[in-house]
Structure 1
Amino acid sequence: MPLRADTPPATADVRRFTPLQRWIHRTTAALMGICIITAACLYVPQLAELVGRRALVVTLHQWSGLALPVPVLAGLASRAFRADLGRLNRFGPHDRTWLRAALHRDKRHASRPAAKFNAGQKLYASWIAGATLVMLGTGLIMWFTHLTPLLWRTSATFVHDWLALTIGIALAGHIGMALADPESRRGMRTGRVSRTWAEREHPLWRQ
């Protein structure tokens, strides 16, 4: 179903995100970026030697990781943000159609029906939210070493390190997809997208 017929002409922009939603995204991205950069400085010998000040890097890594859920928790005060969380958590028949088309590399827009968020965005959001919680839990076990037995700390370190690698790969893919879609980036930067783009990429999205 297309966007409602009583909306402005196709050349007009439509609002995709509120200022608070964009702030949540940017703040979370900044915190995640600090976590990744500091992790690289801790685990890559060449970077560790270049940066030095290991204690400061560890502190930045710990506190940025601890603060990661804060923007999302703060965003729960926004009705628009809660509505988008609900959309991301609902997986309908059109999402299965989108995934089948993506797996078969069918790039025709008609084969990839999507509402405000497509199936790929929903899967990514769910995965990164779960991975962040696991990283937070394992990080706390590694931080407060005196509260847990050695086996727990060893297991937490293993999970934390390997999950960090997969998060880095997933984020690289996320950034790559964003770079390939200037209109989507404009939506996150300004909060508005063209109606033509919305009808083409998200035909089931109703304003």
Structure 2
Amino acid sequence: MSRRPEPPRSATRLWRFSAAERWAHRTTAVLMGVCVLTAAFLYLPAFAELVGRRALMVTVHQWSGVALPVPVLAALGSRALRADLGLLNRFGPHDRRWLRAVLRRDKRPASRPAHKFNAGQKLYAAWAAGATLVMLGTGLMMWFTHLTPPAWRTSATFVHDWLALTLGVVLAGHIGMAMGDPEARRGMRTGSVAREWAEREHPLWRP
């Protein structure tokens, strides 16, 4: 994957993410990482042999999964987070243009107009939120087996396992995209981004 040019450090900085948003992102990332890691220990024999304590892995996996929505819910008191959630939930003509450019492999900045979040980020956020809720619901049915009929638990296990695999692939893509954009990572780490980067990657954004 080609890395995008890193803007000069002397460029004027623009505020992009609040402390609450960065905290919610980091905490969610840690919990998701724990879920993925413990799932690997539970389902892959080679990893399971390294730990051996399956009961512990199950407990850690269950509680990290239940806690997954908590950081975002706790951060809803932040006006900045609520505003960004509103932006993520809006899909406009410029987003459709961005997607068409991606499908045509058109990498010209002018052909990919974006507001604070581009269309790819909006689709990822919506998919991740929906997948997390489905994983939580199916996981609870697998955990509290006495609350649902056997047929429901069988279906929940099927959905949970295959959605977990899909989620792992999508997360790998998300991390790969982030690794290719140092300034985007800096924005999530420090809260600010270079004006030059914002004008190039998000020309419709006016902070």
Deviation of 1:136 (Å): 0.2
Match of 2:131 in 1: 131
RMSD: 0.8
Match of 1:86 in 2: 86
Distance in 2, Cα, partners of 1:51 & 1:14: 45
Match of 1:27 in 2: 27
Matches within 5 A, 1:20-169: 20-169=20-169
- Code of the residue aligned with 2:38 in structure 1: it is T
> Tell me, what secondary structure is at the counterpart of 1:76?
helix
- Code of the residue aligned with 1:35 in structure 2: it is C
Match of 2:3 in 1: none
- Code of the residue aligned with 2:75 in structure 1: it is G
Deviation of 1:11 (Å): 2.5
Distance in 2, Cα, partners of 1:65 & 1:105: 36
Deviation of 1:195 (Å): 0.1
What is the aligned-residue identity percentage?
A: 77
> Tell me, what secondary structure is at the counterpart of 1:193?
strand
Distance in 2, Cα, partners of 1:65 & 1:19: 23
Question: Which stretches of structure 1, 4 residues or more, deviate above 4 A after TM superposition?
Answer: none
- Code of the residue aligned with 1:205 in structure 2: it is W
Unaligned 5+ runs, structure 1: 1-9
Distance in 2, Cα, partners of 1:166 & 1:148: 25
Structure-2-length-normalised TM-score: 0.95
Deviation of 1:25 (Å): 0.2
- Code of the residue aligned with 2:132 in structure 1: it is T
How many residues are aligned here?
198
1:149-204: CA deviation from partner (whole Å, max 9, x where unpaired): 11000000000000000000000000000000000000011111000000000000
Distance in 1, Cα, partners of 2:47 & 2:184: 33
- Code of the residue aligned with 1:197 in structure 2: it is W
- Code of the residue aligned with 2:72 in structure 1: it is V
Deviation of 1:75 (Å): 1.1
Match of 1:5 in 2: none
Distance in 1, Cα, partners of 2:83 & 2:112: 22
Distance in 1, Cα, partners of 2:59 & 2:132: 18
Deviation of 1:80 (Å): 0.3
Deviation of 1:94 (Å): 0.1
Distance in 2, Cα, partners of 1:40 & 1:195: 41
> Tell me, what secondary structure is at the counterpart of 1:105?
coil
Match of 1:177 in 2: 177
1:115-170: CA deviation from partner (whole Å, max 9, x where unpaired): 00000000000000000000000000000001111100000000000000000000
- Code of the residue aligned with 1:82 in structure 2: it is R
Match of 2:195 in 1: 195
- Code of the residue aligned with 1:90 in structure 2: it is R
- Code of the residue aligned with 1:47 in structure 2: it is F
